[in-house]
Amino acid sequence: MTASSSSDQQLRLLAVHAHPDDESSKGAATMAMYAAAGVDVMVATCTDGSRGDIQNPAMEDAPHPKRDMAGARRLEMANAAAVLGIRQRWLGFVDSGLPEGDPLPPLPPGCFALQPLERASAPLVHLVRDFKPHVMISYDENGGYPHPDHIMAHKVAVEAFEAAGDPTRYTDMGEPWAPSKLYYDRAFSPDRFRALHFALEEAGLQSPYAERLAKWLEADAEGHTPPEPAHKTTTQVDCGAFFEARDDALRAHRTQIDPLGFFFAVSSELQRKVWPWEDFTLIHSTVSSELPEKDLFAGIRFAA
């Protein structure tokens, strides 16, 4: 896989994420692989992560995040980006937090999820027109999981993908640029979890996926397989050689990621044997490519 060395021929990938750390848990090995191959990879982080709780027991008494969670997470994001070899931009919105309770409490005033769509999308439209990505990645309509910031990140990504190339929209946000392809990330693919679960059981190891699979089976009326996803995988990127980079990037988010937790329950070696891919769904494309794909830039390199 090669990209032209000419700057105007360089392939560009933009991934839109809700919070710092989302880029490392969703599609990180793919981004690291493309970056190592010469693709210009950028992450757009919608919010500052300021309302995130400390998820790593080892960081519970750390003074910086207690005093300034957003500042601590900026440093973590910079470290993770360096590990992955990518660029990153903040879109400048305030974390909405994850509301809990019954009934759910209202979201805090001024947070990202409460912004009007055009206001929330404008910085991303500007970034798309400035960075000029050929491919964009985001979440599905459910946000990957139903966090209000993830759902809003989906909305602004779709809006920017559709609007950035239209000279009649967002007229003060730079010269139009139309990305060629939009993908939804499928980091939480049931097929992947099921394959890893059975591989662990076969090896006599405890599976961290048993509870998740049980819930999927309960949701299926027949009780045999996980329910069909809203979007099936169209594209699997073989990026197993970069699983260690992904894990190091996750560990860089020290407030959010427990190094002894769920993400590290399966060795990279076993993952490479069982599921050496990251999964995506092609949603929109202005170029022709044959499905299933193995490359997010299929049909583009280098017709652009």
- pLDDT by residue (tens digit) across 205-244? 888 888 777 776 665 555 555 556 679 999 999 999 999 9
pLDDT of residue 226: 53
**Gap between the Cα atoms of 8 and 74, Å rounded:** 30
**Gap between the Cα atoms of 155 and 149, Å rounded:** 10
Mean pLDDT estimate for the chain:
92
Beta-sheet strand order (sheet of 87-93) = 87-93, 40-47, 12-17, 135-138, 181-185, 277-285, 235-238
- Asked if residue 181 lies in contact with residue 137, where contact means CB atoms within 8 angstroms, the answer is no
Angle at 199 between CA 201 and CA 137, to 5 degrees: 130
- Pair of tokens at residue 21: 């750390």
pLDDT of residue 225: 56
Residues whose CB falls within 8 Å of the CB of residue 210, separated by 6 or more in sequence, listed in order: 197
Say which DSSP state 229 is in: P
87-112 pLDDT, tens digit per residue, is 999 999 999 999 998 898 999 999 99
**302 pLDDT tier (thresholds 50, 70, 90):** low
- Asked if residue 278 lies in contact with residue 295, where contact means CB atoms within 8 angstroms, the answer is no
**Gap between the Cα atoms of 151 and 167, Å rounded:** 26
The CATH architecture assigned to 7-188+277-285 reads 3-Layer(aba) Sandwich (3.40)
Please state the rounded mean pLDDT for residues 154-159: 98
Q: Where are the domains of the chain?
A: 7-188+277-285
**Gap between the Cα atoms of 299 and 56, Å rounded:** 42
Range scoring the smallest mean pLDDT among 125-129, 172-176, 183-187, 221-225: 221-225
Q: Which residues pair with 136 in a beta bridge?
A: 14, 182
Please state the rounded mean pLDDT for residues 29-35: 98
SS3 sequence, 91-130?
A: EEECCCCCCCCCCCCCCCCCCHHHCCHHHHHHHHHHHHHH
Question: How many CB atoms are closer than 10 A to CB 103?
Answer: 6
Q: Which residues pair with 89 in a beta bridge?
A: 44
Q: Which amino acid is at 16?
A: V
Q: Which amino acid is at 278?
A: E
